[in-house]
């Protein structure tokens, strides 16, 4: 059960910092879709927060600026907007795909991208996709009576399981992502059930082609390591290579050691490898994904037989 004494709704960063320098013991909330279940399920015990500060209506956290190279998304942008917005569908194709897998309509209306990243769950779905968009985050802090903004790569902001680079009343303001119009994209996840699923493994990928070669390829995974991560060996191997099933298969084996989960490692490795292959093929717009994976499986089987039988 979550109880609180005061609920504040600042409208600007200035108001937020005026409030949080005056009033002690403030706790930020945005959509409350992480905080409420945590309190309600008793994981946090009997939760009492003296002062709750709802940041979802702060102007600077709701920016939505589209440039040809960079796009700014406020930290309070919710997943339903990422799902439905036409500009996002064109220039940031991977984000609506994350939203398809994310909870349901009601939760998506509330759940913010900022809350998802600050929560920093290894199974959070937002981070792998943002990693493939080469994201920088901007945080704001209050020093010597001034608002100071600091920009850093997402990889530097998320420091570990449930750990981010925020102190005291610092606040996450926005995400600067790359406009990836012209890229193929894919996000998929697997978990223990079909709907409202928590990722056991999720993969995000983006590809750009030139003359039937990988001009750019970005792949990131979540769910299997403390912090979602880019698959640098896979990317390096494929960049500049031709769109060839054998190249994709060879690449899919290179980063399986990112799996840090101690349980069911072999299962996770197999799922991850298949997911990497699927994700790249789907980003390329291939329809025969299952067939190709079956072909790869048979190939491995016959290689094993010729080696060991
Ligand atoms: C039924 C259900 C299904 C879900 N499905 C998924 C899913 O499929 N994938 C997934 O990844 N997650 C899922 N979640 C988890 C949750 O919805 C997301 O993590 C969501 O994005 C959190 O955002 P929020 O705005 O609700 O965060 P809140 O609960 O409001 O806050 C989360 C944390 O972030 C902090 N915070 C929020 N905004 C800021 C900010 N701007 N600056 C600094 N700190 C901030 C808060 O203090 C708090 O510690 C699900 C939750 C539920 C209840």
Strand partners, 152: 137
Kindly state the tokens that stand for 175: 């995400």
pLDDT digits (tens, 9 = 90+) for 219-250: 999 988 899 999 999 999 999 999 998 999 99
Q: What is the whole-number distance in angstroms between the Cα of residue 211 and the centre of ligand 1?
A: 41
Average pLDDT for 95-117: 95
Per-chain mean pLDDT for the chain: 91
Kindly state the tokens that stand for 198: 């928590």
Query: Greater confidence, 178 or 261?
Result: 178
Range name among 140-149, 184-193, 226-235 with the lowest pLDDT average: 184-193
For residue 35 and ligand 1, the question of a CB distance below 6 A is answered with yes
User: Residue 296: its pLDDT value, please?
Assistant: 72
Q: Is the alpha carbon torsion for 146, 151, 156, 158 positive or negative?
A: positive
SS3 33: coil
Asked if 231 and 253 touch (Cβ cutoff 8 Å), the reply is no
**Any alpha helices (H) in the chain, and if so which ranges?**
13-22, 35-40, 79-84, 86-91, 94-101, 105-110, 113-119, 126-132, 154-157, 232-238, 245-251, 265-283, 289-308
Nearest CA to ligand 1 atom 50: 103
Nearest-atom index, ligand 1, CA of 58: 41
Question: What distance in Å separates the CA atoms of residue 126 and residue 61, rounded to the nearest whole number?
Answer: 17
pLDDT digits (tens, 9 = 90+) for 48-91: 889 999 999 999 999 999 999 999 999 999 999 999 999 999 99
For residue 32 and ligand 1, the question of a CB distance below 6 A is answered with yes
Q: What is the whole-number distance in angstroms between the Cα of residue 71 and the centre of ligand 1?
A: 22
* Residue in the structure block whose two tokens are 């789907």: 282
pTM of the model: 0.93
For residue 224 and ligand 1, the question of a CB distance below 6 A is answered with no
**Which of 8, 12, 25, 34 to mutate for ligand 1's pocket (most ligand atoms within 8 Å of CB)?**
34
pLDDT digits (tens, 9 = 90+) for 260-283: 877 778 888 888 999 999 999 999
Q: What is the whole-number distance in angstroms between the Cα of residue 226 and the centre of ligand 1?
A: 17
Full set of structural domains in the chain with CATH: 2-54 (3.30.43), 61-178 (3.30.465.10), 184-301 (3.30.390.50)
Largest CA distance in the chain: 75
């Amino acid at each position: 059960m979550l109880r609180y004494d005061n609920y504040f709704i600042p409208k600007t960063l200035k108001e937020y910092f005026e409030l949080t320098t005056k009033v002690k013991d403030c706790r930020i909330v945005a959509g409350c879709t992480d905080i409420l279940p945590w309190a309600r399920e008793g994981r946090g015990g009997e939760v009492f927060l003296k002062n709750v500060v709802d940041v979802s209506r702060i102007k600077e956290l709701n920016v939505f600026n589209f440039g040809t190279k960079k796009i700014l998304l406020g930290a309070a942008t919710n997943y339903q907007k990422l799902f439905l917005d036409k500009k996002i569908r064109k220039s940031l194709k991977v984000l609506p795909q994350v939203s398809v897998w994310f909870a349901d309509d009601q939760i998506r209306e509330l759940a913010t991208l900022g809350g998802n990243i600050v929560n920093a769950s290894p199974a959070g779905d937002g981070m792998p996709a943002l990693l493939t968009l080469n994201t920088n985050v901007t945080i704001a802090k209050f020093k010597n009576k001034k608002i100071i903004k600091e920009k850093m790569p997402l990889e530097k902001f998320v420091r570990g399981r449930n750990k981010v680079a925020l102190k005291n009343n610092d606040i996450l303001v926005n995400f600067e992502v790359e406009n990836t119009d012209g890229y193929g994209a894919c996000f998929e996840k697997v978990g223990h059930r079909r709907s409202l699923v928590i990722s056991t493994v999720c993969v995000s990928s983006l590809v750009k082609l030139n003359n039937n070669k990988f001009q750019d390829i970005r792949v990131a995974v979540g769910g299997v390591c403390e912090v979602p991560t880019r698959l640098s060996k896979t990317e390096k191997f494929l960049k500049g290579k031709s769109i060839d099933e054998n190249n994709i298969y060879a690449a899919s084996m290179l980063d399986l050691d990112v799996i840090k989960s101690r349980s069911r490692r072999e299962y996770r490795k197999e799922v991850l490898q298949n997911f990497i292959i699927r994700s790249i093929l789907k980003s390329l717009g291939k329809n025969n994904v299952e067939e190709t994976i079956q072909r790869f499986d048979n190939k491995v089987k016959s290689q094993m037989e010729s080696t060991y039988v």
